[in-house]
Structure 1
Amino acid sequence: MDTMRDRFAPTLSRLLDEDPRVAVVLAEIGRDGFARAASRHPDRVINVGIREQLLIGAGAGLALAGLRPVMHTFASFLVERPFEQVKLDFGHQGLGGVLVSAAASFDWPAGGFTHMAPGDVALMDTLDGWTVHVPGHPDEAETLLRHAVAAGDDKVYVRLSVQRNAAGRVVDGARFLTVRTGRAGVVVAVGPMLENVLAATEGLDVTVLYATTVRPFDARAVRGATEAAGTDVVIVEPFLAGTSTGAVNDALIEVPHRVLGLGVGRRELRGYGEFDEHLAAHGLTPGPLRERITGFLSRTSRG
């Protein structure tokens, strides 16, 4: 069973063959997957070594030269460490490029907190004009990677994770999908959280929306869902809890509503553990999710 990251190098290698504008910039991480592509396109597969600020700067230079750069490493080294370069080299200069991360919030706990990035999407939210894709399955990752590379000169962040749903869905890089309909609330599941959300809401009279592109936020889908299901909204994200509650509030600004943001907590878990243990510790497994969702929705029914 392959992972989202397993799809990354083969997909980008094909895009390097298909489109002479595409270039890949690496910081050691993932270099082996591009060995063959580098032999075919030595001028468009660049490994800068463990120099993450240079990773972003080199990508911006390629963008200035008219190429479509794709920059890849762990999320903590792609978004957090070189954030100033992301802000200035791409945002301030008005350049387009594609950031593709691995390791998500805590995919590799043995790497310690230096390799964890639950705040990456919240940090990207401080910048203007970035599209953010959060696929929940390798098939969706491949589709969204292609969307990102083909997006003209837009700024795009693609967040890959080892966590995955059992099956992929047809995604278009923009809209939320309606997976289940109900009348007692709306639950938005982001990327790889869908499977746990569906298990947590089994038998509940709620609408479940599936989001694999969270920026721009599909406000129309949320407003449409609340017309039938009421204006209580829970959003379950695989990154920092509350990252998208502001987007939900903006979507429903004209109507009274309540929103609950579930995701990774702010408290640092200092035991390495395993991925599933971190997921459980943050309450993102079906049992705790169901308890928190039903508790939130029941407060409305009690008035």
Structure 2
Amino acid sequence: MDTMRDRFAPTMSRILDEDPRVVVVLAEIGRDGFTEAARAHPDRVINVGIREQLLVGAGAGLALAGLRPVVHTFASFLVERPFEQVKLDFGHQGLGGVLVSAAASFDWPAGGFTHMSPGDVALMDTLDGWTVHVPGHPDEAETLLGHAVAAGDEKVYVRLSVQQNTSGRDVDGARFLPVRTGGRGVVIAVGPMLDQVLAATDGLDTTVLYATTIRPFDAQAVRRATESAGTDVVVVEPCLAGTSTAAVNDALADLPHRVLGLGVGRRELRRYGGIEEHLAAHGLTAGPLRERITGFLGPAARV
């Protein structure tokens, strides 16, 4: 199976052919996938070299010129390193654009901590008006990239990952999808965490919602789910633990409720290992997730 990142260049190359307003901005990473597109559109595939602050600044400048920039590199170099440019060049100036990251939280453990970015979504959450897509499958990534580019002059962050579910869902770039219905607790699985969550909740009396667009947060879906499943909510995210707990609290502010946020821990894992080993170390595989979910929801969740 191909990965979300494998879909990025072909999807964007097609969009470049179709939409003369779109321009792709790279910082070396991913440039090989755009060799043919660069020949066809030499003025709309721009590689600035290993200069991430310039990468974001150039994207904002292209937006000022009326274009729709799609800016791409690893998450740690796209969100964390040039955060001031994201904040000021796009946000302060009121410009729209699409940031598309790769490597997610720890897709390349051998790259070390410099190439890991579990806090990217939490950092983007400090800024106003950004839509955040976290697809869980290459088909969803392709769909959400299309939504992001077509979103007028809006600010959109698309988080691509090597981690993925076995099958894609019919996502629309807005709503959470009900995947399983139960009467004791709601579990929100974000992007690539769905398969692990479904395995962890197998046989439990819980409702499972699938979220691939987490900003804006689909508060209505959460409220609907709690009407029959109660107001105990667990959020399982492939990024920093607790990233979306405040959004759940806001959604249920007028109701007594409890929230548990599961995700990547703050402690740095200094051994390279592989993706599966990092997932296990952060408690994001089915067994540990089931233990923490049932411990939070209580014996009534077991059927």
TM range (shorter): over 0.9
Matched, 1:249 2:223: no
Per-residue CA deviations over 1:68-113 (Å, capped at 9, x if unaligned) read: 0000000000000000000000000000000000000000000000
User: Which aligned pairs between 1:145-160 and structure 2 lie closer than 5 A?
Assistant: 145-160=145-160
Per-residue CA deviations over 1:150-169 (Å, capped at 9, x if unaligned) read: 00000000000000100000
1:105 partner letter: S
2:184 partner letter: A
Distance in structure 1 (CA, Å) of the matches to 2:278 and 2:119: 15
Please name the residue that 1:128 is paired with: 128
Distance in structure 1 (CA, Å) of the matches to 2:133 and 2:157: 6
Q: Say if 2:103 and 2:160, in contact at 8 Å, map to a contact too.
A: yes
Please name the residue that 2:173 is paired with: 173
What is the Cα deviation at residue 299 of structure 1? Answer: 7.5
The alignment covers a number of residue pairs equal to 301
Distance in structure 2 (CA, Å) of the matches to 1:99 and 1:265: 24
Please name the residue that 1:188 is paired with: 188
Matched, 1:102 2:102: yes
Please name the residue that 1:52 is paired with: 52
Per-residue CA deviations over 1:116-143 (Å, capped at 9, x if unaligned) read: 0000000000000000000000000000
Please name the residue that 1:18 is paired with: 18
Please name the residue that 1:201 is paired with: 201
Q: Say if 2:75 and 2:101, in contact at 8 Å, map to a contact too.
A: yes
Please name the residue that 1:68 is paired with: 68
Please name the residue that 1:144 is paired with: 144
SS of 1:166's partner is: coil
Per-residue CA deviations over 1:231-254 (Å, capped at 9, x if unaligned) read: 000000000000000000000001
SS of 1:35's partner is: helix
SS of 1:36's partner is: helix
Distance in structure 1 (CA, Å) of the matches to 2:105 and 2:231: 29
SS of 2:267's partner is: coil
2:271 partner letter: G
What is the Cα deviation at residue 188 of structure 1? Answer: 0.1
Q: Aligned residues: percent identity? A: 86
Over the aligned positions, Cα root-mean-square deviation in angstroms equals: 0.8
Distance in structure 2 (CA, Å) of the matches to 1:260 and 1:113: 26
1:60 partner letter: A
| Runs of at least 5 residues in structure 2 that lack an aligned partner in the other structure | none
Distance in structure 2 (CA, Å) of the matches to 1:291 and 1:89: 44
Distance in structure 2 (CA, Å) of the matches to 1:275 and 1:186: 27
Distance in structure 2 (CA, Å) of the matches to 1:40 and 1:65: 21
2:86 partner letter: V
Distance in structure 2 (CA, Å) of the matches to 1:284 and 1:115: 20
Distance in structure 2 (CA, Å) of the matches to 1:299 and 1:258: 16
1:26 partner letter: L
Distance in structure 2 (CA, Å) of the matches to 1:288 and 1:157: 30
Q: Say if 2:4 and 2:160, in contact at 8 Å, map to a contact too.
A: yes
Per-residue CA deviations over 1:23-71 (Å, capped at 9, x if unaligned) read: 0000000000000000000000000000000000000010000000000
Distance in structure 1 (CA, Å) of the matches to 2:270 and 2:6: 29
Please name the residue that 2:281 is paired with: 281
Distance in structure 2 (CA, Å) of the matches to 1:299 and 1:70: 48
Q: Say if 2:122 and 2:240, in contact at 8 Å, map to a contact too.
A: yes
| Runs of at least 5 residues in structure 1 that lack an aligned partner in the other structure | none
Please name the residue that 1:39 is paired with: 39
Per-residue CA deviations over 1:153-210 (Å, capped at 9, x if unaligned) read: 0000000000010000000000000000000000000000000000000000000000
Normalization by structure 2: what TM-score?
A: 0.99
SS of 2:145's partner is: helix
SS of 1:107's partner is: coil
Please name the residue that 2:262 is paired with: 262
Distance in structure 1 (CA, Å) of the matches to 2:279 and 2:100: 22
SS of 1:169's partner is: coil
1:283 partner letter: G
Distance in structure 2 (CA, Å) of the matches to 1:40 and 1:284: 43
What is the Cα deviation at residue 300 of structure 1? Answer: 8.1
2:70 partner letter: V
